[in-house]
Amino acid sequence: SSHFVWLRSLNRSVPTGLMLDVLLGAAAASILGAALLVIRVLRPLRHEEHPQEWIFRALAYGRRDLVVKGDPDINWNESHPHFGTPLHAIGGNGIRLEAEGWPWVDWTEESNAFIKDLLALFQFAMRRGADPSINSSVSCTGCIRFRVTGPQGTLYDLQEPVGGRSAISLWLAFSQRAKEQDGRNPPQEHPLQLPLASSFFDGILSLLLHEIPKHKGCVPKRPGRLEPLALAEIPEATSGLWSRIMRSEDTCDVVLQCPDGEVRVHSVILASTSKVLSAMLSWPREEAQRAATPWKVPLEDRREVVEAWRALVYTGLPPPEGLTTNLLIEVLNLSHRWQDHLIECGLLTTALAKRVVDGESCGMVLEVALSKDLPELRNECLAFARRSREVRRDWERGQFSGEVYNQLASVLGVKRRGAAAKAASTRRWDL
Q: How many domains does the chain have?
A: 4
The enclosing H or E element of 43 equals: helix 16-47
Residue 317 has pLDDT above 70, yes or no: yes
Other C-beta atoms closer than 10 Å to the C-beta of 253 total 15
pLDDT at 31 over 80: no
| Inside any domain, residue 68 | yes
Last residue of a domain, one of 300, 317, 334: 317
- The answer to whether residue 338 is domain-embedded is yes
Residue 230 lies in a domain: no
Residue 206 sits in the same domain as residue 258: no
Q: Within this chain, do residues 400 and 342 fall inside the same structural domain, yes or no?
A: yes
Q: Are residues 206 and 278 in the same domain?
A: no
Q: Are residues 59 and 175 part of one domain?
A: yes
Q: Determine the structural domain holding residue 133 and report its residue range.
A: 53-210
Domain-embedded: residue 298: yes
Q: Which of 252, 284, 317 is the C-terminal boundary of a domain? A: 317
Give residue-wise pLDDT tens across range 378-418: 988 988 888 888 888 888 888 998 999 999 988 886 544 44
Q: pTM for this structure?
A: 0.45
> 47 or 413: whose pLDDT is higher?
413
Average pLDDT over residues 239-251: 74
Alpha carbons 328 and 324: distance in angstroms, whole number? 6
Contact yes or no for 101/151 (Cβ under 8 A): yes
In a shared domain, residues 85 and 201: yes
Query: Are 293 and 342 contained in the same domain?
Result: no
Are 313 and 420 contained in the same domain? no
User: 384 and 347 share a domain?
Assistant: yes
Q: At what angle do helices 359-371 and 389-396 cross, to 10 degrees?
A: 80
Query: In this structure, are residues 122 and 232 in contact, taking their beta carbons and an 8 Å threshold?
Result: no
User: How many Å apart are CA 40 and CA 34, to the nearest integer?
Assistant: 10
State whether 302 and 331 are in the same domain.
no
b (16+ CB within 10 A) / e for 323-358: bebeebbbbbbbbbebebbbbeebbbbbbbbbbbbb
Are residues 250 and 114 part of one domain?
A: no
Rounded CA separation 395/208 (Å) = 39
Give the integer Cα–Cα distance in Å for 360 and 391.
8
Same domain? 313 vs 329: no
Mean pLDDT of the chain: 77
User: Of 222, 58, 170, whose CA–CA distance to 125 is shortest?
Assistant: 58
* Cα 10 to Cα 12: distance, rounded to the nearest angstrom: 5
The mean-pLDDT minimum among 35-39, 70-74, 218-222, 298-302 falls in 218-222
Question: Do the domain assignments include residue 268?
Answer: yes
Strand ranges across the sheet with 153-161: 106-107, 95-100, 143-150, 153-161
Mean pLDDT for 128-153 is 88
Is position 352 within any domain?
Answer: yes
**Residue-wise pLDDT tens digits, 203-224:** 888 778 754 444 444 434 443 3
Does a structural domain hold residue 227? no
Q: Is the pLDDT of residue 232 over 90?
A: no
- 192 and 77, same domain (yes or no): yes
User: Pairing between strand 254-258 and 143-150?
Assistant: unpaired
Q: Is the pLDDT of residue 65 over 80?
A: yes
User: Is residue 107 domain-resident?
Assistant: yes
